[in-house]
Amino acid sequence: MLQNRQNIMKITYKSYTMSRTIYVGHRPCPDTVIPSKFCDNRIVSSKYTVWNFLPKNLFEQFRRIANFYFLIIFLVQVIVDTPTSPVTSGLPLFFVITVTAIKQGYEDWLRHKADKEVNKYPVTVLEDGRSVKKESEKIKVGDVVEVVEDETFPCDLILLQSSREDGTCFVTTASLDGESNHKTHYTVPDTEKDLQALTATIECEQPQPDLYKFVGRMHIYKLEQEPAVRSLGPENLLLKGATLKNTKKIYGVAVYTGMETKMALNYQGKSQKRSAVEKSINAFLLVYLCILISKAVVCTTLKYVWQSKEGQDEPWYNQKTQKEKDSNMYLKMFTDFLSFMVLFNFIIPVSMYVTVEMQKFLGSFFITWDKDFFDPEIQEGALVNTSDLNEELGQVEYVFTDKTGTLTQNNMEFIECCIDGFQYRYRDTQSELDGFTVTDGPVNKLQQKAGWEKEELFLRALCLCHTVQVKEAGSEVLADQVDGIDGLLLPQPEEERGFIASSPDEIALVKGAMKYGFTFLGLESKSMKIKNRQNDIEEYKLLHVLNFDPVRRRMSVIVQTKSGETLLFCKGADSSIFPRVRPEEVDRIRMHVERNATEGYRTLCVAYKQLSAEEYAMADTGLREARLALQDREEKLMAMYNQVETGMSLIGATAVEDRLQEEAAETMEALQGAGMKVWVLTGDKMETAKSTCYACRLFQRGTELLELTVRTLEDARLKRDEKLYELLQEYHRKAVQDAPPVKAGVTRSWSTANQDYGFIIDGATLSLVMNPLRDADASQYKSLFLQICQNCTAVLCCRMAPLQKAQIVKMVKNSKGSPITLSIGDGANDVSMILEAHVGIGIKGKEGRQAVRNSDYAIPKLKHLKKLLLAHGHLYYVRIAHLVQYFFYKNLCFILPQFLYQFFCGYSQQPLYDAAYLTMYNICFTSMPILAYSLLEQHISMEILLHCSSSAYLTCTVLFLKQQRLFFVFATMLSSVSAWLVIIILILLSLLPEILLVVLRKPRGPHSRQTICVIGVKLCKTQL
């Protein structure tokens, strides 16, 4: 008995480590074990408390080199008898620490205030059949929570009951991922209408931050029946922070609370990005610290050299005490060294960090206040998430951009379709289906159409294979909604209806089918209704949805007709559909797809398959088992999807136009004219992306394209890796070895000698470059690839996965010279490259706000990038450069007279300046003027920088560098060993005349010194 109990406890503990078990409503079940304890629903985003603020904040501040250095200097002044008062170092340090602590304390107080609002928010919880009002922080895992329309969910809930008859609810997740489109969530099947009578347990995975993944199952217990098991997925999970829409009321059970909710797990801080100027500041601090130490060593050495002469160590007016005579010689030398360090320590600008932070913080408001960045369509302007990188905007050398939604509008319009090799283009003057072919497929005759059955089958596929929701006329939203951007109403007044979808492609296809007479009426209780061209209503039972996946690049639905036939409709990219249909069908469609891609259209292929009763039974069983799996659910579902989506018949293809962003071509041309290299990283087909690059003027008519794709690697004579190496060598010889040399003196890629090449690579070939079959060739492949790309005017990377985008950015960022990189995108698939680049910019587009949330700067449109970089970025770079150079230069000039004064005061550590002046010099006298200058200086107007960007940007930068000639000479001297030797020799020759005189004119005879003294006395009497 005891052994069995131990085994049960082991099994239970193992299951708890892999998953968690939740009792709905805290009601016990037949196989109840000891319930686990979970965290409460309190949210803590603050960093400090009242008790740990002082020690924690001080520890963090003294981790900075400058602050720690001045703390050591202050302690030395307190302990050792130094020439200056401890106040001279302590007061500036106290000012800097206090200002920073107040700023960080205020920011943390705001976080505490926000946490309190969330934690004290009133919610309704069902307890013993009654609705009880509670504070949000008191919700426990297992509580059944009631949420009404327009309220946010207080924790992560499993949907148990909805006021809608079909058991669904609509949710917006704008505060999580920025998507304001309505997402549909479903209740768990077979739950009791009376939740007080529901006895169930939920077994689900441990908390993890992925917003779109959830695996679990629910055991429903009924009297004298076997427990029913229902699978749980993301469609059943309501996330904390999301808002209930178009549903009066829902009930859900809490599964994740507090800091274990997905929203809280996604609030982990991003890696801190540091600008090149900040890194150079740290480098110069070390250089100036070396100058300080060298000055202290020189003065200490010369002091003891001077005192080694007879009579200089102990003059008659300053006799040593017995204690001083008995003191250790080396200890006295070390004390003198520290005294000189304290005397010269003002060469390190203590207030520079605070001034630089204030300049960046206040300067970032100029971006936010810029009216040119305001977009009336979305009623928003630019957003600054990180002010630490303002000056990086003016140093960008490589721009990595997404295509869809960034270069293009992501506003899809149905253009044409191809059915069984025949092209169909809609004409507004005709009400019936009109089609014709030109060169698509094997038929080359005008005014020919596919069969009637093929046409209707294709249009049914467009009406059924999607996840679009319909908003009927008269409801709150009449227009199409995709991430909060309203589309156009349908042209027929009597059929005015809006569509809700997460992707604009799906709305375009549904509206395209409507043009040809097939109308999607909506989904009710798993029943999809469409109206055909004869105005008859067709009803299909939705059996399964095989969701879209970026790896599969397709989605499918399984439906059942009234006659009992089971059909599978599938749509997706040509690369994922063609291998799963018959080859003879592909030939009729391929030419159409390639032509549309060349014209810049987005293409999708449509296929179908009729399932027999046995096939559907196997598919249904496999899909249900995969959805019930707690472990490896996604892999099992993927295997079932691939098994079902085989042996299909290709019906046709669609062409959807995604228009260019406003002023996209002018913006790209301006960036290239300013010397920046533009790379396009997209998941689209090569032909579509290439057409977009031509439209954006990244590729010109005379540009020679170097293509490195799977198609170019096909060679019967050579293996794929051998062909890859051969092409890399050929392109390297053409673009690098045979190219004219870049003009000397140009530090960035501003030469026009290499402007004739464009490079194209796809994701599969990039994988071979990054991970070749032979490990020994990895570095060589990457080196060749990088050199080719750096010598091309523009690079197009198509069929890219998000991880590959980040890999490319990282490769360029870590290349020779460490060029400054910028990534810009609008979707979740761009987040990885935005985080990887030195500067990440998000566009407030239609693919959600994940990119905006993870970016350093956010702008409404691509056209705003031109002013952000060429005007604001240039001015920020000039201002911060002046600021930093001024601080180092004025401190060096300030302390140099103090150093020279030691040669005239016997190296006695006598200060030249008053203590009050030493204290206020860095804090007030020299900080405020340069701060105002660094905020308001415009050495060249923004209009000139924008309207003459290609020439003025380079000219202004060169002029700025010429203005900084003195600083660059100084910086070059500091980094040159020969310059240091010359400086040391000059110091020895010019600052040690007395030693040279003693060596060259040494007195002879015992009375020489006495004679000199007598002469000196006579001279004094004569003067008197």
Nearest CA to 231 among 624, 544, 628, 567?
628
List C-alpha distances in Å: 602 to 8, 224, 482, 483, 824.
57, 56, 18, 20, 21
CB 277 within 8 A of CB 49: no
375 is in an annotated binding site: no
- Residue 887, marked binder: no
99 Rama sector, left if φ>0, alpha if ψ -120 to 50, beta otherwise: alpha
Determine if residue 590 is labeled as part of a ligand binding site: no
Q: Does 262 belong to an annotated binding site?
A: no
Cα dihedral across residues 251, 256, 259, 262: positive or negative = negative
* 770 vs 787: CA distance, rounded Å: 14
Q: Give the amino acid at 246.
A: N
Query: Are the C-beta atoms of 816 and 692 separated by less than 8 Å?
Result: no
Q: How far is CA 389 from CA 106, 277, 325, 522, 819, in A?
A: 22, 9, 57, 48, 15
Q: Cβ–Cβ contacts within 10 Å for residue 771, how many?
A: 10
531 is an annotated ligand-binding site residue:
no
403 annotated as a binding-site residue: yes
Residues 6+ apart with CB under 8 A from 428: none
Structure tokens at 395: 């140093």
Q: Using an 8 Å Cβ cutoff, are 810 and 832 in contact?
A: no
Candidate list 402, 480, 483, 762, residue with the active-site label: 402
Residue 805 is labelled as binding a ligand = yes
Tokens of 98: 């206090």
Quote the CA–CA distance of 29 and 39 in Å, as a whole number. Answer: 22
402 is in an annotated binding site: yes
602 labelled binding-site residue: yes
Q: Known binder of ligand: residue 548?
A: yes
DSSP alpha helix (H) spans, 406-563 = 452-464, 504-515
Q: Does the annotation list 214 as a binding residue?
A: no
Q: Does the annotation place 582 within a ligand binding site?
A: no
> Is residue 673 marked as binding?
no
Distances (CA, A) of 839 to 88, 359, 703, 873: 39, 19, 29, 12
Neighbours of 929 (CB within 10 A): 11
How would you label 653-678 residue by residue, b for 16+ Cβ within 10 Å and e otherwise?
Answer: bbbbbbeebebbeebbbbbbbbbbbb
799 annotated as ligand-binding: yes
Instruction: Answer yes or no: 402 catalytic.
Output: yes
CA atoms of 948 and 866, how far apart (whole Å): 12
Residues in the chain: 1024
Secondary-structure percent of the chain, ordered helix, strand, coil, rounded to 5: 45, 20, 30
Cα(802)–Cα(828) distance, integer angstroms: 9
4 labelled as ligand-binding? no
CB 795 within 8 A of CB 698: no
Q: State the residue for tokens 């920011």.
A: 107
Q: What is the DSSP string of 706-737?
A: EEESHHHH--SSS-HHHHHHHHHHHHHIIIII
Angstrom distances, CA of residue 209 to CA of 237, 261, 265, 804? 13, 8, 5, 22
Binding residues: 402-404, 506, 548, 571, 602, 682-684, 799, 805, 826, 829-830
Binding residues for ATP: 402-404, 506, 548, 571, 602, 682-684, 799, 805, 829-830
Annotated catalytic residues are 402
Binding residues for Mg(2+): 402, 404, 826, 830
